Chain A
Amino acid sequence: MRTCFIVLICTAGLLAPVAATASGTLTGASNAMNPALSVNGLFVAETSNDRDDAEVNGARLQEAELHMTAVVDPFWTANAIFSVAPREDDASSFDIIMEEGNVEATSLPWGIGLKLGKFFLPFGKHAPLHTHQYAFVESPLGVASFVGAGLTETGAELAYALPLPWYSDLILYAMNADTEIWDQDDRDPMFGARLSNLWDVSDDATLELGGSYMRGPGSAAWHGFAGDFRVSGVDLTYKWISSSSSHGPALNLTAEALFPDPEAYDGSPLGWYVMGQYRFHHNWWLGLTHGRADTDETGAPTAWNGIGETWESKLNFTFAPSEFSGLRVEVSQYDDRLGDADDLRFSVQWNFTIGSHPAHSY
């Protein structure tokens, strides 16, 4: 009995400093306020019948993302997302960029939202997505050709839900024009707006109609013209998710069109895609898409680095055994730039998420 008591006292003595250290009072080091942390890894293995370069033949890391999110204080939450991706000119080296770094106000009155920092522009349905959220291996041509595949800028965004009988959210933003589609030497900012409206068609289905517009100093290197670059877009999404069984059937149908309008260009370029995803079994999705990018060359044949008129069709199957991993097999057919030979690609893509990753938006 006495031995037990001595052991207890000694044990308490040994453990006490640990408890004090864990609280951080003495050391100032505590993990209690650490941000939620997650890592997403996205890999792809591809082969092409038209191109024999390493970019589309072989396996590679498509992108890895480190995501941190936390409450800053009673007034702000913050996000930081770092992206690691292989360099285009040297797949053995990697670029690390800060994809997003922003704070969002949590205490403004009247339901006003304010975001400050660097973030994806809310232009259309596809452009704001992170790579691991794509329904297909690559971004649609109709979007990537005209506004790039990673439209992140630094600035401010205001949001307000309009008091209408349906969900209607208006977002206005003013940002630095830093990405490749803008003239980076011109210090004029870019501006944009998005209005998205959503209706509950039934308990299980929604219909969303969105309109987007942005304007800024155009990049001659990107689309061939100096002067203002304006682009508008419209998107329509129908979603149906069976509510009667967990992981039951689900259907997403999206159509999006972009109307780029460089100031010095007489043509009428157009980019569009339609895509559908259907969950036909607990963990299995079928995806199908077709899209086009057309610069309407009547104005200038060199526009958009010689995209000309090009189209793509893709079919894929995705197996997602949980919300944190997925394996995708995809066949894609591209009509190559300016009418070159067709490109048939076969891709296998896999991704995983570890840590505490915030849920994606609807």
Chain B
Amino acid sequence: MTRHALKFILLVLATGLLAPAAANAELKVVATLSDLGWIAERVGGDDAEVTTLCPGHQDPHYLPAKPSLTRKLKKADLLVYNGLELEVGWLPQLIKCARNRNVKAGACGELDCSHAVRHVLDVPTGQVDRSQGDIHPHGNPHYLLDPRLGVAVARLMADRMAELDPDAAERYHRRADDFAAEIKARLPVWAEKMRAATSCPLIVYHQHWEYLLTWLGLDNIASIEHRPGINPSPQHVEEVIELGRRQACIYILAASWDNRKIADRAAERMDAPLAILPGAVGAVEEATGYIEMFDVICERLSEASIDGVRPQEGLTR
């Protein structure tokens, strides 16, 4: 019995040791976020097998570092991640447990996609400490909410995929070019849709949308969450409500994973529409892809800005 058990264990171990050699030639890519996963699939096409760690409906700041996720990382040739410490609460733990030298810090198979961002927003100046909440010391990490930066990320991915898989280099670059062309063609459509929205200021729940607002030229006048990652105090929420009430036009933006109770209550007290936007691909049902996500965002922003106009003398809402 003992001998049979020993044989079984040795067989299992041997299977595991030989498994990498038997694997097919596709580049195995693991993306931390659903946006990155979607872009990696576009760039990788049939030459890459892409898996994603954080589903779109989950707040990427707080993904539980489930050991089962390390199974995805264990065989990865390339790990693409957002960077700017967005995944700092769970990715280092997963990398450590995966014990895959391809994706350890500094290896060719780890790609910090924030390197594609030339101008990081909200980089703190002066003293940085946790009295400011769960602040990102290197700047706002939500750059994928600007589609032009999505294109820059796609090109960065293509370069790295080409480096790891030179035989398919031309195809990676061609797919990144195709993606860039698709985004370029879509930009005027989104701009047209947002034409009505640009004159109405807005209030955000969390500072998630800075890149989106900068791209679209929208005016954010306050944040319900006073300090990132910390529940806002009733006093601060009250101040924001008062500010909102004084505006001739106002609406609120929140992600699907934000604290809906507080966001709903603030919207109701302000008598302002609340737009729940997809913070990532898959965050809401209609955001099935990176391009579709911006379709949904522009649609909802446009509607909310129209609904946010307060009735005034001689005008109807």
Contact = CB atoms under 8 A, between A and B. Distances in A.
Contact of A198 (B12, B17, B66, B256): B66
Interface residues of B, number: 46
A246 B62 contact: yes
A161 B99 contact: yes
Nearest to A239: B64
A206 B63 CA distance: 14
A162 interface: yes
B66 A359 contact: no
Interface in A325-362: 358-362
A108 B130 CA distance: 37
Interface stretch (A6-14, A109-117, A219-227, A309-317): A109-117
Interface in A76-135: 77, 104, 106-113
A72 to B, nearest CB: 12
B257 A246 contact: yes
B229 interface: yes
A163 B15 contact: yes
B190 interface: no
A125 to B, nearest CB: 13
Q: Which of B97, B99, B256 has the most CB of A within 10 A?
A: B99
B99 A112 contact: yes
B288 interface: no
Contacts, number: 109
Contacts of A230: none
A321 B100 CA distance: 35
Contact of A200 (B17, B66, B231, B259): B66
Interface residues of A, number: 46
Nearest to A166: B68
A361 B15 CA distance: 28
A163 B134 contact: no
B16 A243 contact: no
A37 interface: no
Interface in A22-63: none
B260 interface: yes
Given A206-B66, A245-B258, A323-B134, A163 B16 contact: yes
B66 A163 contact: no
B21 to A, nearest CB: 10
Interface string B87-101: 011101100111111
A74 B16 contact: no
Contact of A362 (B13, B66, B99): B66
B174 interface: no
Contact of A241 (B64, B105, B130, B257): B64
B58 interface: yes
A331 B62 CA distance: 30
Q: Which 6 A-B pairs have the closest CB atoms?
A: A163-B16, A246-B59, A243-B58, A167-B68, A111-B99, A113-B99
Given A77-B96, A111-B74, 6 more contacts: A113-B99, A160-B13, A166-B68, A321-B230, A322-B230, A362-B93
